[in-house]
Structure 1
Amino acid sequence: MSRARRKAYRDGILAETLAALLYRLKGYRIVARRYRSPVGEIDLVATKGKRLAFVEVKRRRTRDAAAFAVTAKQKRRIVRAAQYWLASHPNYAGHDIAFDVVLAVPWSWPRIIENAFPL
């Protein structure tokens, strides 16, 4: 793995950690982190009351670049992974499902976009 790739990986892990901290500060409980399934990966799964949020964390140099990094193909992958997660965790079946995106940029707190895209 190249040095640039290792740095990008570490930066991504840091962004996910900051996003998890931000969700905790907002009263959420993190129920899964870096969940991998045969159909895709979900960065964070968080719950607060009856809201169950599947969270995609994007770290880029600017917020615009991070926002545009969530493509339609990625959204479909995240939805499929969320459906897979829900199938293996039936105790969350009655929750309100949401797909959030966290935009992370250097030297700034991550920004949460709630309900970034529909199911």
Structure 2
Amino acid sequence: MSGAVSYYSGLAAEEQVAAHYMRSGCRIAAQRWRGKYGGEIDLIARDGERVVFIEVKRARTHAQAAERLSQRQMLRILRSAEEFLANEGCDEKTDVGYDLALVDGGGQIEVLENALYLN
């Protein structure tokens, strides 16, 4: 996939996932949120008081999409999430989730709740 096609394909997948979360009652608080230290979070949703950080991955299959999330990327997302929460005045009592949303070649979405972690 060329750079431009891949970029726009990623944007379309993010829009699909945002719509999926909104249909489930969430509000999208931010898209492609960038922290001061270079990290980016694809989507940030609010489900009542809960803040959900969502990484979107797209590939031909859900399994291939999941393989595209590296340990290094997870660390950047977690650091950026900490920065976002601090900027929002949230504390350690804030209910937080870290989801991985997988989009396959047919546009089907699979959400793995609380899928971001470090070994």
What TM-score, normalized to structure 1?
0.90
CA deviations 1:17-46 (Å, max 9, x no partner) are 000000000110000111011230000000
- What is residue 106 of structure 2 aligned with on the other side? 107
**CA RMSD of superposed structures (Å):** 1.6
How far did residue 49 of structure 1 move? 1.7
How far did residue 118 of structure 1 move? 4.0
Contact 1:39 1:80 in 2 (8 A): no
Provide the C-alpha distance between the structure 1 equivalents of 2:116 and 2:34, rounded to a whole number of angstroms: 20
1:113 is aligned with what amino acid?
L
Gaps of 5+ in 2: none
Specify the SS of the correspondent of 2:2: helix
Aligned residues: 116
- What is residue 47 of structure 2 aligned with on the other side? 48
* % same residue: 37
Runs of 4+ in structure 1 deviating by more than 4 angstroms, as ranges, are none
Gaps of 5+ in 1: none
2:52 is aligned with what amino acid?
A
How far did residue 107 of structure 1 move? 1.4
Aligned pairs for 1:56-95 (under 5 A) are 56-90=55-89, 92-93=90-91, 94-95=93-94
What TM-score, normalized to structure 2?
0.90
